[in-house]
Amino acid sequence: MSERQIQLEVLRYDPETDSEPRFQSYAVPCKNEWVVLDALNYVKENLDTTLSYRWSCHMAVCGSCGMMINGEPKLSCKAFIREYSDKIRVEPLANFPIERDLVTVVEDFIAKLTRVKPYLIPKEDKPISAGEFKQTPAELMKYKQYTLCINCMLCYAACPEYALVPDFIGPAAIALAHRYNQDSRDGGRDQRQEVIATDEGVWECSFVGACSEVCPKHVDPAGALQQVKVASTIDWYKEHLMPWVKK
């Protein structure tokens, strides 16, 4: 197993003692197969127990360990050391306030998730005893990719609109609303439109597409946003030009 010494430059910030963030550099002997998270864990265990960061699953599914690595939003558990030079800079996710070191304040994202009503609002009521709602594999495919979001918030860190307009509901939350809108069992689109077909919703997006590029799960929030825009435009035309047609 080959080893390589890297310099890990980590943003440090403790609101109790630091007036502003600073960088601290650690020399870390890395195994070739390591990810950046392994290097951080090496620091925590061997060099500096005061470093704070979030992590858990180490398999890119819990969504805890999103960070800026050399300026790009990444899951640190899936950012392989072998893909970087000997100096790696690690910072907290951009566009979020820093709570401590690599830990960000994420309440804004959680609040936005909640606002878009990300749960099934059934088209028809049906008791459990009546069995499952039938859904064909083709119907499942229509929304499946949007269920894969792990809420890691890399897309918010990459989004230029969110950086400028903090009220923007943002990629992951809108993609999640779209996920339920596209679900054959759901009848809640009108309720979600009130939230997402607004200036703070899809119309804020300028379709840069950075969100889809950084998504570690290949969800395509930019695609979802565009689909919501098209559908909302059709709604508008129907409402204003053909008021006799039901949406």
Partner 1 sequence: MEVINTDVAIVGAGGAGLRAAIALAEADPKLRIALISKVYPMRSHTCAAEGGAAGVIKPDDSMDLHFSDTVGGGDWLCDQDVVEYFIHEAPKELLQLEHWGCPWSREPDGSIAVRPFGGMKIKRTWFAADKSGFHILHTLFQTSLKYPSIQRFDEYYTTDLLVDDGRCQGLTAIEIRSGQMKHFQAKAVIIAAGGASRMFPFTTNGAIKTGDGMALAYRAGAPLKDMEFVQYHPTGLPNTGILLTEGCRGEGGILINKNGRRYLQDYGMGPETPVGQPVLKTMELGPRDRLSQAFWHEQKKGNTVSTQWGECVLLDMRHLGEKKINERLPFVRDLASSYLGVDPVKEPVPIRPVVHYMMGGIHTDINAATPLPGLFAAGECACVSINGANRLGSNSLTELLVFGRKAALSAIAYIQSGLSAGSSAALATQAKASESRISALCEKKGGTESIAGLRKQMMDTMEENVGIYRLGDELAAACKKISELRRRYAGIEIHDKSRVYNTDLLQALELGSMLDCAEAVTVGALARTESRGAHQRLDFTERDDQGFLKHSLTYYHPKEPPRLDYLDVVITKSQPGVRDYSGGKK
**Residue from 94, 150, 169, 205 in contact with partner 1 (CB under 8 A):** 150
172 contacts: CB under 8 Å, gap ≥ 6: 109, 113, 149, 151, 153, 155, 156, 211, 219, 221
Q: How many CB atoms lie within 10 A of CB 197?
A: 21
32-71 binders of partner 1 (CB under 8 A) = 33, 44-46, 49-64
Interaction between residue 85 and partner 1 (CB under 8 A): no
Interaction between residue 192 and partner 1 (CB under 8 A): no
- Using only the alpha carbons of the chain, give its radius of gyration: 21
**Residue from 4, 9, 24, 106 in contact with partner 1 (CB under 8 A):** 106
**Residue from 66, 73, 92, 118 in contact with partner 1 (CB under 8 A):** 118
Comparison of 78 and 229: residue with beta carbon closer to partner 1: 78
Interaction between residue 20 and partner 1 (CB under 8 A): no
Comparison of 50 and 206: residue with beta carbon closer to partner 1: 50
Report d(CA 152, CA 134) in Å as an integer.
31
Phi, psi dihedral angles at 206 (to 5 degrees): -105, 15
What are all long-range contacts of 233-241, with beta carbons under 8 Å and residues at least 24 apart? 235/193, 235/197
H or E segment to which residue 29 belongs: strand 22-31
**Residue from 22, 123, 126, 247 in contact with partner 1 (CB under 8 A):** 126
Phi, psi dihedral angles at 78 (to 5 degrees): -130, 15
Residues that bind partner 1 in the complex, under the rule CB under 8 A? 1, 14-17, 33, 44-46, 49-64, 78, 80, 99-101, 103, 106, 110, 113-114, 117-120, 122, 126, 128, 131-137, 139-140, 143-144, 147-148, 150-151, 176, 180, 183, 185-186
